[in-house]
Structure 1
Amino acid sequence: MLNGDVPNNILLKGNIDIHNWNSGATPKVPSQTKYGWQNTNAKLNSAYAATRLSLADPLKLIVGSRLDWYDNETTYPYRNTEAHLKVTRHVTKYAGLIYDLDAHHSVYVSYTDIFKSQSFMDVSDGIIAPITGKNYELGIKGEYFDGALNATAAIFQIDQENRANSVTGRDLCPTYPTTACYESAGKVRSNGIELEVQGQLTPNWELGAGYTFTEAKYVKDSLSNEGRLFDTDIPRHQFKMSTTYHLPGQ
């Protein structure tokens, strides 16, 4: 137990009241114990700023930036080893242009930097560095019937480096056969399209559907994987549908 009444392995607290916020409801836990063999203490602090500018009557610009500090300390008590990864003042930028074609349609183009921390371990017991990259998107949006029907279509390209990929030879992992270990991929490029429609069939009934095609391939890699799929477990075709019906009364 920690602080007398808080279990040492609390990961999530479910009874948080957002209307009566109490930042000290759950005391800060120095580290988390996973299955008794791994302790991880990771912290991410961020600061961001964004602005929306009207360059002309139909043209709007959105720009922003985020500054990240990331610190990860992981120890393996049963092997008496530890790993430490620290990233200081990493800058992530994004920008977007929106142009209104008419009262119902607008086109947009956007650019976003990528920074995403990972907790995977490599064959040397080191922590895989955060994913970095760039995201480009071009699309069109439509609004019809006074907002009762909305549709979007977009094409995108995502370039990522350091994505964790499971090592094929599990016997190379120091934690084998308990857990798998990972390696940093070179440069992985995902190209795709996304189609989505959301509408209100009746005042109480809403329906939405979407389709996404994505193909992620190596474009640069030290192991001569260029041109190959990054991970065959990632689906290339995804279809989703959802519906909501509001019952009478409260």
Structure 2
Amino acid sequence: MAFSDEEVERYARQLVLAELGGPGQQKLQAAKVLIVGCGGVGGPVALYLAAAGVGQITLIDPDRVALSNLHRQIQFATAEIGDEKTEATAGAMKAINPNVRVFQIFAALDADNAPTWIGQSDLVIDGTDDFATRLLVSDTCTMLDKPLVSGALGRWTGQVGVFTGKPCYRCLVPDVPPEAETCQRVGVVGALAGVVGSMAALEAIKLIIGAGQPLAGRLLIYDGLKGEARTVQVTPDPTCRACGG
């Protein structure tokens, strides 16, 4: 895969990295990534992966831009309130890098369409804010053997994990918690979305190019109030109904 002069200049600061270089850039351009959720986590992921030169990115989200989104979902502008999040996010991505192919799905991911969209992707990034969808994404990725990067945030704390088989996300969260917290219920500081989304994008890039040590089977937890981060191991659950047995 040859690079144009414009692409060489665009990706110059990546091409000089020993862990990435030309072969890594080619892997990025050949990759097909699905981003589930174009909100606080999915927005920074989409922008950074587009900027990095990921060749094909599919966005799926059923929501429209709301005023209450703008303090943390900086891929949107005030003038885009009421627009489909997938369309507005795609516009921001193309403004950064017109070379990226962006597919928009203005719909919710459900049990009927999840195998199709996930099956057509090389890597899935979950940036949703409800556990039912997170578990659906994880179960489908496990069934289809697709790597999953999961990001979540609330209040002042965020987390990022990578799941490439066993353990899966359901090993960490077996079922929807009865008192599940959302940003709408408990609030969230806006800048935290950028931190978590950027870390999720970085993990995705590492997985695509095969660099470093991805957070496979681990969960990185960031405490924004304390300015501290820790990584915990996720233990496979032998009774997990998705990956156990």
TM > 0.5 between the two? no
If asked which structure has higher relative contact order (CA below 8 Å, sep 6+), I would say 2
Structure with more of its chain in strand, by fraction: 1
Q: TM-score range by the shorter chain?
A: under 0.3
TM (norm. structure 1) is 0.23
Max radius of gyration: which structure? 1
TM (norm. structure 2) is 0.23
